[in-house]
Structure formats: structure tokens, C-alpha cells
Amino acid sequence: MDFLIGLHSGIRWLVVVVWVVLVLRYLLAWALNPRYRPFDRYLYTVFSGLLDFNVAIGLLLLILNILEGTSDVIYWFHMGVMLFAAVTAHLASRHIKTLLDNEPKEKFFIGWASALFIGVLVAVGVALVGGWVS
């Protein structure tokens, strides 16, 4: 169980690093109006995938806590917020993909705005369990 908690915590910081890169890249690209490149799509996919992986580990931890009888209601709220963040990332990614290639500004703006919203969700979700200090 300690390994899973450590993995869950480590991936949290990977999510934060990729989120910072994503927000800065999409903001600068939106302001400077370059082409939407495969790297931009890949960056959002990595962000979404890391969220998915961490939610899966969190779900496993929640199930293990339930089986041990140590589950607290705050973990349920944490899981709900993080699951909402992951679903939002997938919906935004799907919407960005449906936009035409001649609409890079819209792709970057939607990616940037959705990443900001997801970042707030992640910050709140992690704060619920006191995860920013551990």
C-alpha cells in the first residue's frame, strides 16, 4: 500500500509539471497564433493520460481502504473531484480534436481555458486530502 501511495503522490507532481508546460505552451501559442502541431496534441494527451493513471491508482487505493475499513468520506470527495477533472480533460481534448486545422487559435484557447479549469479542480481535490504538504 505504501508503494501505491508513493506512486500516486509522485504522479501528482508529474501532472503539475505537465500542466505548467501545457498552460504556458497553449497561452503563448494562442497569443502568437502559430500552427497547431502534433506536439500540442501530444502534450494534452500526456496530461490527460497522467490524470487517468493517477485516478486509477487513487481508485485502487480507495478500494483498498474500504476493504481495510479505513476509508474516510473525504477520500470519496477527493475521488469525485479528480474523476471530474479527468473527464473534463477528455471532453476538452475531444472537442479540440473536432475543430478544423485552420482554427488553431480556438484549439489553443479551449486547451488553455480547460487546462486552467482542470488545474483548479486538481488543486482543490489534492487540498481536500492535505496532499500539497505531504
pLDDT in tens, 2-20: 899 889 989 999 999 999 9
41 in any annotated domain: yes
pTM higher than 0.75 = yes
pLDDT in tens, 66-86: 999 887 888 999 999 999 999
- Determine the Cα–Cα distance for residues 58 and 81; give it in Å rounded to an integer: 12
- Determine the Cα–Cα distance for residues 5 and 92; give it in Å rounded to an integer: 28
- Number of domains into which the chain is organized: 1
pLDDT the model gives residue 110 = 93
Which residues span the domain enclosing 66? 2-128
133 in any annotated domain: no
38 in any annotated domain: yes
134 in any annotated domain: no
